[in-house]
Every structure is written in structure tokens, then in C-alpha cells.
Chains A and B, each alone.
Chain A
Amino acid sequence: MQRYSAFSLFSEALRGHTGWERAWRSPEPGGFYDIIIVGAGGHGLATAYYLAKNHAARSIAVLEKGWLGGGNTGRNTTIIRSNYLQDDSAAIYEKARSLYESLSQELNLNLMFSPRGVMMLAQTHHEARGYIRIANANQYQGIETEYIPPSRVKELCPIISIDGPRYPILGALWQPRGGTARHDAVAWGYARACCSLGVDIIENCEVTGINRDAGGVTGVTTTKGDIGCKKLGIVVAGHSGKLASMAGFRLPIESVALQALVSEPVKPCLDVVVMANTVHGYISQSDKGELVIGGGADGYNNYTQRGSFLHIEETVRALVETFPIISRLRMLRQWGGIVDMTGDRSPILSKTPVPGIFVNCGWGTGGFKSIPGSGWAMAELITLGEPGHLAAPFGLERFREGRFIDESVAAGVAH
């Protein structure tokens, strides 16, 4: 695989950019693979990459019904943070965040990882107490976060109104090493790296059935024919329930729409990520100058990739109150993604009732930040057939055993 570098860019410029190769191969499916991953979103591609890289798996295919990265991975607002309360969540999200730090170099593609700092505003006393508790928990977990007063909030983010009439800002949970990255590039980077390790990534190939016998999974039926496998990883976010029903089991998942929007581009005015969870809105500024905005998820089942106007209005209202300076900005684009919400709002990385089938789903409104850690843990789970320490707490059995991961900060709000 061709390597990208300043030198290759320079020499290609001299010959009119005629010598670039495809970023990844586009093969026809083979008849059989040791491991098939369904879904070429960030989590599916990262799983395939770490299977090949960490576990020397060589016969892997990733099947994608549309185009690579066209699901939630290409639709999110790219916030990366790891300031969770529970040790189990903190471990996997921090693993992911720390992998992001050197991922551009590792994948040889600029992911535009920008650890500009993430600020979560406390706008009620209850929220303030919650964030102080998280800051304390993070200290024990070795994750650098801090609870900061309103004066510091204003210093870090001058355009914010700290004494709004309804929800004045009481403080914030500040993670200086959180930030954003370019979401498409994460999918493309993993795809390229997978490809150079021999993984077949097959786009426009929808899985329509899962084949099994008494011993477990034997393969899948797709729009490009039947493909056999020894192990199957289902990594399809909002469509997990559909794939599970093909395999004959159910999941504790409901699929709902989550939306985002961007404004017209303006001069730099915001160089941190700000999240306001009480009023349901969060915001950052892209390199192009657009304000990238998100809010709450719809409350009802939906597969249309469109959400309700209700929530856009709610989000925009909340942000105008928090940042009065943006009140006359026009919005350019708005879109939705179908997110997979579990009963305790924490993800699932698990074996399933069918031998050989593994699921990775339930990241809901907040799984962009976790892509590298999730792929890492999922590769371990598929290889060993048992979860390692990162995945172990996230098994499906927790819903039967009542052993939930009570991560209240993840509840229903996008991040």
C-alpha cells in the first residue's frame, strides 16, 4: 500500500497527482473467511484492523450494505472524551482516547485529532454535584479531569453567557485532553490499514440472512451471494436488532434518531467543545468555521435517518440561550443517524446465544469516541471466544443478572 507523506505529496504534485492509488481495494467476496464482520462503520473496521494487527488473523472480510463510513460513523459530531463515572466505562473510553492520540501516525492518515478540551457545563446543583463526583472518580482512574468554576468557564470560552436567566452556569467538568477528530478519516484510515493487512472490505453487500447449524454459525447470505465463515461479528449499530433476529435471538436495544446540524461558517470564536446536558445542546467549531451542533435523541423507534423538528428547535433554543452571540446565524445542513440505545445506556460487547456469533453494539449516542478501544476489545473477544478485561463488564448477561453499568452521564443526550 502506498504510504502518504510530505514527500509523496510533493512528488505527486510535480506530476499532476496522476500517480495516487486507490485508498483501499474493492474486491469481490471470496467464498469463505475465518471471520466475517458485518458493518463497515468505525467499530467494524477497527475490529477487523485489530484482529489482523494484534491477533494475526489473516482471513477476514468486512461486509457493508452501503458505503464505508456512511452510517453513524459519518454522521456524528465527533466529540471524544473519557470522563465517565464508572471504572468499567472509564477503562474502555480512556483506552480509546489514548489510542486516538497516536492513531494518525499508526494508520498513516491525518485524522485531524484535535485535543482542544471538552467542557461539560453544570447548570443545576444536582448536575454540579454529579460532575464533582465524576472529577473525583476520574482522579482514581488516572484520567485527567477537573471541576472548574464559572470564571474559568468564561476564560476558556468567552462567548458563553454564564449568568443566563434560566440555567446560570455553576461550573463545569473540564477534560483538557478531550476534543474532536475527523469522523470520515477515522473510517478511511482504518479501511486503508485493514486493506494493507489483507482484509477484504466489501461495500454494497447487504447481509440478508445468517446461516447456522446445530454447532453454531456457518456463514451469511448477502446481496452478493452466500459467504461462509467460522466466526461472525455483528457491528451494525442501529440495525443490530434486525441482524439478531436473522440469527434467532433478541437484543435489549431500541433504535431511535439522533440529529445534528451545522451553521454557516464564521471566523474562529470557539476553540473548545462545550456540552450543556441539562438543556440538551452541545457545540464545537469545525476547521471550516461551521458551528457543529447536536442535541437530544428522539424518544421513539425510527429507522428513517430523519428526526423530529421538535428536537432541533429544542437544541437551538438551548444553545442560543447559552451563547446569545449565535442567535442570528443561519443553519446550513441538518441530518440524522439511527442510534442503538440499550436499557442501561451502556454498550454491548458480547458472546451471543449462537456459538461463533459476537455482537458489538449499543454505543447509542456516544460511540465515535470509543472506536479504537471498542475495536481493540472486540478483536480480543472474537479471537479468544471470551471477553478480555475491557469487554467483560459489557456482556449481554448483565440485563438478565441486573448488573447494569449505571452511567447516568450517558443517558439520552448525544455526545
Chain B
Amino acid sequence: MLKFECPYCHCGVDETELVPGGEAHIRREGPGADDEAFEKYLFLRENPVGVHFERWRHAFGCGKWFHVARCTQTMEVFGTYPAQTLEPPRPIQKAVNSRRAG
């Protein structure tokens, strides 16, 4: 069972309370973007064996979207952070790097 801390409610939440939302930090293409840009935005995914930055919604709680840094191979969770950001914040990046050196 996955367990995260909701960065809004500041409490531990179980997978049963959450809905997964896929890869985070995907930038939406504007009008006028070409087919390739839209293919990338809609379908191409990193799908890494390792650290994955992803979206989750605290559906049966506050209802807000937030982000999680998690390893897809060990299920280790590096931290959670609010969704209003274009890239993982420094403390999260540091937590990932300290556990995944090189």
C-alpha cells in the first residue's frame, strides 16, 4: 500500500484515498503548436525505471492535486510537493540526489 503525505492537509494518506494522475511537469502546448508537439504533450512519457515525478489527487480528502517523487523500482517515496510548480523544488531534488548518487 502506497502512503504519502498530502502537502496541503499535512497528514499521511493511503493509496485508497488517492487517485493517480500520471507523469508530472508536462507542459501544455499552446494553440498553433504542431502535431509533433501535441504528440509529445498528450502521449510520449518518460516511464522511467527509477525516479518518477508524478501527479496524485487527494480525491477522498481535500480534493487537491499534488506531486510525488517516487522510485518505480523500489517504491521508495522521496517526498511530496504542491502542484503549482514547473519543476521539482530544491529540497525534493536534494532528497532524490542524496539517495540516488550518480
A residues apposed to B, CB below 8 Å: 239, 241-242, 250-255, 298-304, 308-310, 342-343, 399-402
Contacts and interface: CB of A to CB of B under 8 A. Distances in A.
B43 A399 contact: yes
Given A400-B36, A401-B35, A301 B72 contact: yes
Given A254-B22, A308-B15, A310-B15, A241 B47 contact: yes
Closest 7 interchain pairs by CB? A252-B43, A241-B47, A299-B20, A343-B43, A300-B20, A400-B39, A250-B44
Kindly name the residue among A242, A299, A302, A303 whose own CB sees the greatest number of chain B CB atoms within 10 A. A303
Given A299-B19, A310-B15, A252 B75 contact: no
Interface in B61-88: 72-75
Contacts of B35: 400-402
Interface in B12-51: 15-16, 19-20, 22-23, 35-36, 38-39, 42-49
A242 B15 contact: no
Interface of B: 1-2, 15-16, 19-20, 22-23, 35-36, 38-39, 42-49, 52, 54, 72-75
B75 A254 contact: no
B47 A301 contact: yes
Contacts of A301: 22-23, 47-48, 52, 54, 72
Contacts of A251: 44-45, 47
Contacts of A402: 35
Contacts of A303: 49, 72-73
Contact of B45 (A239, A250, A298): A250
Contact of A302 (B36, B44, B45, B72): B72
A310 B16 contact: yes
Given A241-B48, A300-B2, A400-B38, 10 more contacts: A241-B45, A250-B44, A252-B39, A253-B45, A254-B47, A304-B72, A304-B74, A304-B75, A308-B2, A343-B43
Nearest to B1: A309
Nearest to A240: B47
A300 B45 CA distance: 13
Nearest to B14: A310
Nearest to B43: A252
19 contacts: A241-B47, A252-B43, A254-B47, A255-B47, A299-B19, A301-B47, A301-B52, A301-B72, A304-B75, A308-B1, A309-B1, A342-B43, A343-B43, A399-B39, A399-B42, A399-B44, A400-B36, A400-B38, A401-B35
B47 A253 contact: yes
A254 B16 contact: no
Nearest to A342: B43
B44 to A, nearest CB: 5
A242 B1 contact: no
A401 B34 CA distance: 11
A318 B49 CA distance: 32
A239 B54 CA distance: 19
A310 B42 contact: no
Contacts of B19: 299
Kindly name the residue among B1, B2, B43, B46 whose own CB sees the greatest number of chain A CB atoms within 10 A. B43
A309 B22 CA distance: 20
